[in-house]
Amino acid sequence: MTSGADDGGAGLFADSAVPSSVEKEPPHYHGHRDRLRDKFAAAGGDALPDYELLELVLFRAIPRRDVKPLAKALVARFGSFAEVVGAEPARLVEVDGVSAGVVSDLKVIEAAARRAARGAIRERALLDSWTALHEYLRATMAFAPREEFRILFLDKRNHLIADEVQGRGTVDHTPVYPREVARRALELSATAIILAHNHPSGDPSPSAADVAMTREIVTVLAPLKIVVHDHVVLGRNGHASLKGLKLI
């Protein structure tokens, strides 16, 4: 009887044991990450849809999880890669799966994009590089959740002296004071300025208030021999130039 009990016990454990030679397979998303990195290396970011580019950013902050569902959820929530990167941290963390590390990485990407765009305009005459200027303004403020009023102060060669946000407001209004604009331009010895603000609604069409405010700034600066080259309105759907529209 003793011998039989021993044999039965040994047989039970033998059947339930996992052979030491069998290793766990890596998670399915490991191969996906390698394929996505290869795709990026071969074709560049323009070949990737927004959610795949976002996946590449999320890989670092979330190393041991499939991030495709989160990337798609973020794009669905905010609309595009640029809008995800530009979203306020408080809104980002409302999405399930977004940690402080994810927010930090997204804000690094946002800061890097702004720095690169600013570098493209700093050493050249802005009136000779409108494309670079518009790309910079788009990267800087087109996707901001509230209105921002920005002034680019230029020297006599139309090179950038300073780029400053003069005010932040609500989703549809930013207070602007023409005499404060004039005061700051004189402090910086600027001979010209370019105005810019964003429309969080997405439509860059200038409002009647935008036109009136711009004309008032032009009037205040004219006796000081400071030129307003343009006022650019940014939105997710493009930009509008008040000068191009012959509104100033």
User: Does the pTM of the predicted model rise above 0.75?
Assistant: no
Q: Which residues of the chain have pLDDT under 50?
A: 1-22
List the domains of the chain with CATH numbers. 28-114 (no CATH), 126-241 (3.40.140.10)
Please list, in sequence order, all residues whose beta carbon lies within 8 angstroms of the beta carbon of residue 72, skipping any fewer than 6 positions away: 51
pLDDT for res 3: 46
| Model confidence pLDDT, tens digit, residues 14-32 | 444 444 444 555 565 668 8
pLDDT for res 26: 59
pLDDT for res 9: 44
Half-sphere exposure of 104 toward its Cβ, with a 13 Å CA cutoff? Answer: 6
Determine contact, residues 241/230, Cβ cutoff 8 Å. yes
pLDDT for res 52: 95
Strand 227-235, strand 238-241: pairing: antiparallel
pLDDT for res 139: 81
